[in-house]
Amino acid sequence: MTRLTWLKLVLLRYYRNMGLRVLLYALLSLVATLISPLVSPLLNGRVNMQIDFASVTPVLTILASSMLAVSTFSLNIMVSAHRGAADVATPRMHRILLEDTTTQSVLAAFIGAFVYSLGSIVLYRLGFYPEDAALVVMAITTVVVILVVISLLRWIEHLTTMGSLRDSLASAETRAREALKAQAENPRFGASPLSPDTVLPLSTTPLRAPVSGYLQLIDMAAIEDCLPDQAVLYLDVAPGAHLLEGEVIGQVSGQVDDDTLSGLGRALTFGDCRTHEQDAAFGLTVLSEIAEKALSPGINDGGTATEALLILKALLWEFGRTDPDPDAPKAPRVFAAFPGPARFIEAAFAPTARDGAGSIETALTLRQCLASLSRSDITEMSAAAQALAANALCYAEEAGMPPRDLDRLRAIAVGAPSAQAAAV
């Protein structure tokens, strides 16, 4: 992972923060104060219209009062939609919906327009605006009004699907696809694989978690820069792991001091919840939970469970067919134990295999998905799919599925070559 990639991840987090966008709108009122002495003489000499603050103030007042009501109403809608998504899908959807850029942009436009108009009124009353700045303020206000109208149209269209089960599935699918693609193109984000067969040096220094929480991001470039010459980091954890403060998360070979260990700790981002940026299994878990929720007796929606399983199959198939990027940045002095295809198969299908064992429709779809993935070119994925298919069949037998239904499951060959391949 390069510095540019890491910077992109950090900037995306700030971009999804509504407060930053509202601040940009608020700064527009200050921009008018700064540029009016420069722009006003040019505009006043070329624009044949006399605008004073007696004309601008009513527009700002209307904008401030209306946007306050619209913002409050829209926030109530957002909260209701998030609660609805948590009820029909999974509570983990709340975290994904918080990163919905459409909702963030629209609400930021509403709240930002309110803050801008209120700030402009206050600055005018305090005498910060010269009289010849009225035309500049009106021009900026017109732009803000246009942005608000566009946001209203986007908001109306977005409300037709916001919080629905279909929208939740699509959002979770998008996040999972992004994370799986990043993992496939640059496995372990440039680090070398750390396996049980990896032999560590005899003398190492333990690296401990600086805080408690979920490991969200690992800055491989910062780790490489922080490691002294000849030092190597063996990282035992991956994004998505929950750690305790002081828990050993890796070993560092070579001569390292406390400053180096502190620098390595700063290259790890912790938080109170899992995120999808580098945690590819998280998106799969969310989709799997949606399938489980649909199978609960209170909902009994086998169609949604089937749809979620088919999405998971497609995601993992795409992951298996994505070739690593030869130009991806490498971190040769970092060894990391990232989850592989077997972990992804387990996260995607194991819960449904257990909880949906009594439903022949769900069991058939699950076995068909595993049969397809068992023909993957990735040996680890194929073996994991075959093993889980065998476990799922045992779950079905233990759930008391009728023999004729069990025969239907056994008729779906898992691990056998496809008909097309056999014909060739």
* Per-residue pLDDT tens over the stretch 165-210: 888 899 999 999 999 999 999 888 888 888 888 888 888 999 999 9
Q: Please state, in angstroms and as integers, the Cα–Cα distance from residue 120 to each residue in 123, 124, 148, 299, 368, following that order.
A: 5, 6, 17, 51, 62
Measured on CA atoms in the order 66, 69, 73, 74, is the torsion positive or negative? positive
User: Mean pLDDT over all residues of the chain?
Assistant: 87
For the stretch 130-165, pLDDT in tens is 877 888 888 899 999 999 999 999 999 998 888 888
Strand order in the sheet with 242-243: 242-243, 213-218, 268-271
CA–CA separation, 387 vs 242, rounded Å? 27
Which stretches within 47-133 are classed as H helix? 53-88, 93-97, 101-125
Enter the CATH code of domain 186-271: 3.90.1170.30
pLDDT digits (tens, 9 = 90+) for 7-37: 666 666 666 677 888 888 888 888 878 887 7
> What pLDDT is attached to residue 419?
38
For Cα atoms 372, 393, 313, give the angle at the middle one, nearest 5 degrees: 25
In this structure, are residues 215 and 267 in contact, taking their beta carbons and an 8 Å threshold? Answer: no
Judged on CB neighbours under 10 Å (0-12, 13-18, 19+), 422 is exposed
Helix (H/G/I), strand (E/B), else coil: 244: coil
pTM of the model: 0.83
Give me the pLDDT at residue 328, please: 76
On the 0-12 / 13-18 / 19+ scale of CB atoms within 10 A, 48 is exposed
Percent of the chain past pLDDT 70, that is, above it, reads 92
Mean pLDDT score, 329-339: 88
275 contacts 95 by C-beta, under 8 angstroms: yes
Q: Is 19 exposed, middle or buried (0-12, 13-18, 19+ CB in 10 A)?
A: exposed
**Alpha-carbon distances of 279 from 182, 325, 334, rounded to whole Å:** 10, 19, 18
N residues, the chain: 424
Span 224-244, average pLDDT: 92
Tens of pLDDT, residue by residue over 97-134, are 877 888 888 999 999 999 999 999 998 888 888 877 88
Give the pLDDT mean for 304-320.
Answer: 95
What are the pLDDT digits (tens) for 338-395? 889 999 999 999 999 999 998 999 999 999 999 999 999 899 999 999 999 999 999 9
